[in-house]
Amino acid sequence: MNAKNSSMTDALKWTGTQLQVLDQRVLPEEIRYDYYNDAQGVTEAIISMRVRGAPAIGIAAAYAVVLSVKVHYSEHNSNWQQQVKADIEQLRGSRPTAVNLFWALEIMNKAMDVENVSPIASLEVLAKKIHQDDIAANHTMGALGAELLIEAKGVMTHCNAGSLATGGYGTALGVIRSAYKQGLRKIYAGETRPWLQGARLTVWELAQDGIASTLIADSAAAWLMKSGVIDWVIVGADRIAANGDVANKIGTYSLSVLAKQHGVKVMVVAPTSTIDWAMVSGEQIEIEQRQPKELLNDCYLDEHSLVDAWNPVFDVTPAYLITAIVTELGIVLNPSEVNGVKSLQ
């Protein structure tokens, strides 16, 4: 299927019997949905980054629990809950940084413990609710964040925090979409190495909505800021600590440092399900390390090679570098000065 001729940007589609996952590794050249009937398949889809973005990962995990119950539940199987909980533990290990994963699994796990004559139906309703609530939250955050951009000349975003990373509409891109309706036109996206989510996903997703954008090399960000063309950097988040520190795609921290130097503001857009209230600061956030082969040329993959690679997927931006954290419950301005995000509780 030719990506240029399609506007299908849903990362996840639930059919009632299967979870369809848009394989984001092959975008924008190909739009391909993979079909999953069990939790093991969805776990692998998360690990392999077919599905990515903290909210989308949480939603996929919720549907995976439903698939697990469909596989194991039977009036004649007294161990079905233990079998589902084993699948939940596998899902927990799929991505360590995205807190939405653990949030969604906890909701589904608690619901499963409630005695119910129709566990499949009730858990399916709950997974659908998690999905729809995320879409609604994205639209709310889009409107709230856009209010901060009314006088913005231009913005830059990093990685992909749009409909592909969420239930729909997007977090950072949700704000940009809403601001575009108000007249924002200068939109820049960093390529976001090593997986190129900005180059492959963000600019493509915006183009599907008829929104023009400009792609830049990651290393051009400082020069772009110095030019005065942008006055906001807008990103999503994979985990937010109670003090307002934010874990997001690797490179977010460096953009925030550059923004501070050049007088550019930083906006983080994420639903409250991304906040880890038990985590005091970003220093406690586990940063996922992926395989060196994602960075290395094939000639360096020989076991005798002297070349290795360090491949952290996320970094942590301290709250003092963040101008605003936008959630569906409201905006926290200057989180380092107002006791983090605790005002949202």
Amino acid at 214: T
H-state helical runs in 31-117? 39-47, 54-72, 80-92, 99-112
Q: Catalytic annotation on 308?
A: no
Tell me phi and psi for residue 314, to 5 degrees: -130, 165
Tell me phi and psi for residue 54, to 5 degrees: -55, -50
Distance CA 199, CA 222 (A): 18
Closest CA to 327 of 157, 123, 142: 142
Distance CA 179, CA 232 (A): 12
Query: Choosing from 87, 238, 245, 276, which is the catalytic residue?
Result: 238
Determine how β-strand 330-333 pairs with β-strand 324-327.
antiparallel
Distances (CA, A) of 209 to 145, 170, 228, 263: 19, 13, 26, 30
- Residues taking part in catalysis: 238
